[in-house]
Amino acid sequence: MKKKRVLTPEQIEHRRKYNRERQRRLYAENREAILEKRRERKQSKEYAREYWRKNRKRLLEKRRKHRREHPEYYHARDTAMAAVTKAITDGKLKRSSKCEECGRKMCVEAHHYKGYAKEHRLDVQWLCKSCHRIADAKEGYSK
């Protein structure tokens, strides 16, 4: 196993300063493209909200129908989620403070990477929302 390198406070400060300068330079070079991406993302969210507002009844019925057609999947999922919540409350499971995939410190969700079977209910990976969606999409559970 590779030994982890320990940095001095001066080295840490130097890296922070370098990274700040690099970020500023990259932002200045790509400012228009970055702002355009932000505008597109905002429009995309607005479109999604508007689509939901217009088609709410149909989308909810579609969701209900899927739930009625696959009760065993939803029962297993809901039971596994409840088991994780209870394990956290009882202190048997500890919620991580950062995503195990990308390392970002944010609110994390429990990803049942081995499935929802009874023996794997507490086998979870702590992922941020975006990494969780990617993991679910790879496994075929994409919404």
pTM metric for this prediction: 0.61
> How many domains does the structure of the chain reveal?
2
**pLDDT tens by residue, 93-134:** 999 889 998 888 888 999 999 999 999 999 999 999 989 999
Residues 82 and 129 in one domain: yes
- Clarify whether residues 79 and 143 are in a common domain: yes
Statement to judge: residues 39 and 75 lie in one domain: no
Could you list the residue range(s) of the whole structural domain that residue 125 is in?
A: 70-143
Q: Is residue 92 part of a domain?
A: yes
In a domain, 1, yes or no: no
> Alpha-carbon distance 103 to 99, whole Å?
5
Same domain, 59 and 123: no
